[in-house]
Amino acid sequence: MAGVSAQAGPDPARQVLAAGDGWASSGSGTTGGAAAPAGNVHEVRTRAELVAALAAPGPRIVKVRGVIDANTGADGKPLRCTDYATDGYTQAGYLAAYDPAVWGWEREPEGPLEDARVASAKRQEAAIAVNVGSDTTIIGVGRGAGITGGSLRIHGVRNVIVRNLTFRDTHDCFPRWDPNDNSPGAPPGNWNSLYDSVSLQRSEHVWVDHNTFTDEPNLDSTQPLYFGRPYQVHDGQLDITSGSDLVTVSRNVFADHGKTMLIGSSNTSTTDPGKLRVSVHHNVFRNVQERAPRVRFGQVHVYNNLYEGAEPVYSWGVGVRSQLFAQNNFIRGIAPEKIVYNWGGTALTDTGNLVDGRPVSLVDAFNAANPDKVLGTDAGWTPTLNRGLEPAHRIRHLKAGAQPAGHHLVVGRGFATVQAAVDAAPAGGVITLPKGVYREVVKIPASKRGLTLRGATGRAQDVVIDYDNASGTKKPDGTTYGTTGSATATIAADGFTARNLTFRNSFDRARHPEITATQAVAVKATGDRMLFDRVHFEGHQDTLYADTPDVGTRSRQLYRDCAITGDVDFLFGRATAVFDRATITALNRGGDPNGYVTAASTRRDNPHGFLIVNSRIRSDAPANTYFLGRPWHPGGDPDAVAQVVVRDTELPAAIKQAPWTDMSGFPWREARFAEYRNTGLGAGTGADRPQLTDEQARQHTKSAYLGGWNPA
């Protein structure tokens, strides 16, 4: 069957690798589970179903529909890092024990906390490692199919096809510190993770085709530095090691990653020589830092690939006994000397490659920049299994990867959680949430521009995203979440829209008297042009964090016909935010003061902070016990000068006659607080209630704050 065209046949799950298509087509070819009887074709939607299908007798076809979260327990509920930690492991304890200032730089970690880390890692491995047997095709069906957090292991088998899947965020909860692992030109030491998204060991005849590999939404670039080194939680995206052989890697996307593809186990391997024949063609490598690929052994043909995005540490690593033949690749926006690195090899054949459309000898560029690591120009072989080889200029707009999710996704139809749907959705996508309570933490990264979340029923109270972290809630590492980390939903995407749903932080002070830092955010929103339409925000302290991505950026946000509930500073942040026709409920805490409606931290050079207009503030708190706001200066920043206008709004009797107050030593009179034409029992005028003039009021309107953005 090796000669059957990859385009033949009505069912992609029964397609086989075409003749001449790379090393995996040699000899008997690669057919995967194409010969599986009808009774051995499995469609799976959960981790448990995936594991069961892969354990069935071969040949087998496993069709993945939707997104499978590998970090899932036997009961089907999501597992977090804290669920794997055992034997007293905490990240804080590990960092304290093996800090080089205490432990030194000579010894690798050992002792009870290292043993606890290993035991915790084994618990995670038992959940996320999925073993693939011989004569198997595993394929995504439908748009957006994939595996999040999983490690697909093709170990000690033959004849496997993996196609049309998106592999996301195979993160290690328990990275290991190695003070003696040094990268070229970097400070000493590295954090090393354990799990590859797809791992090939001791296997042959494997075809990996049309998949997408990404770390989103948990990029290593967002991780902290510990001991001066990045806390790297991802290992390889596709590693081919331990004497694996006859592999074709075609038309995949490898994106936003560090250590991308390793070919060969170690410089001293006794199983790799004579094997590791691999073809890597028509793949897109975007924003990857290194190993694209790094080759220690083997005749490896790298042709017709597209390299673009952030400049890497290096792309092609030439190892001790590698025979790397790089042909007709297109490289965009990367310095030629950054493509190659010599890891103890002798030669690289480099032919027909283009950098920004110009022919360049990448070996010559490397040698000129690294005269102490000079490479030869002949890898000692010429590839013949090069089906589809084309001139490099035709690769500049290469399309590859798994079929992305459609524009419209529905939670519960292939996506078990809101986060799974967010991960799969394209920028500009629409996610519908059926009626129910979704108990999870949701993160929407900046890359999901234009995304829409909407409740299916048209009633916000029917569709609730809820979690209960507070600032003082303990994380697995022994530290606390802090205000930002407590958010039930963190939304960074510009152009984001939410309609007809509720975001809730259900942290209960009474049930957790041991927690004194009770800030508990329902939503932290930092994007520009964000529309919340008929959305409810429920919490107590710090319910809605309307902010910007950084102090130098302005973000416009419109909260239209929304309901917001809380008590202390429950509308706060740096954003330019308009609350139009909002219902704002100030809860009764039974004291005086009962609370503060706003705590803006508007930048000094921004004339527009919070505008509450045509709204109603309501409260059953006693009269004269609530402040409209106070000026928040994060970290004592003198350039955070709150700006809040409350106008044309009904105020309850609970609002104090002097409704503004100082905060952390910063006087409210130095902030920019004002009212205009408010009504209700809590309205009033006087020396402690600055009022806008009619002329000033014309500068404090919805259109003025939104600055030309007017969502329909």
Cα angle for residues 41, 42, 48 (degrees, 5° grid)? 155
Q: Report the alpha-carbon distance of residue 454 to residue 108 in Å, rounded.
A: 50
Q: Tokens 């809860």: give the residue.
A: 587
> How would you class 318 by CB atoms within 10 Å of its CB: exposed for 0-12, middle for 13-18, buried for 19 or more?
buried
Q: Which residues are CB-contacts of 496 (< 8 A; sequence separation ≥ 6)?
A: 444, 448, 450, 451, 452, 453, 525, 527, 530, 531
Q: Are 465 and 488 in contact (CB under 8 A)?
A: yes
Q: Report the alpha-carbon distance of residue 568 to residue 587 in Å, rounded.
A: 9
3-state secondary structure of 122: helix
Nearest to 537 by CA among 577, 567, 564, 505: 564
Q: Which residues are CB-contacts of 513 (< 8 A; sequence separation ≥ 6)?
A: none
CA within 13 Å, CB half, 120: 27
Active-site residue identified among 14, 286, 291, 574: 291
Q: Report the alpha-carbon distance of residue 169 to residue 579 in Å, rounded.
A: 36
DSSP-assigned states of every residue in 526-595: --SSEEEES-EEE-STT-EEE--SSTT---EEEEES-EEEESEEEEEESSEEEEES-EEEE---SSSS-E
Q: Which residues are CB-contacts of 708 (< 8 A; sequence separation ≥ 6)?
A: none
Kind of pairing between the strands at 595-600 and 229-230: unpaired
Residue 291 is among the residues annotated as catalytic for this protein = yes
Q: Which residues are CB-contacts of 446 (< 8 A; sequence separation ≥ 6)?
A: 492, 493, 494, 527, 549
* Active site amino acids: 291
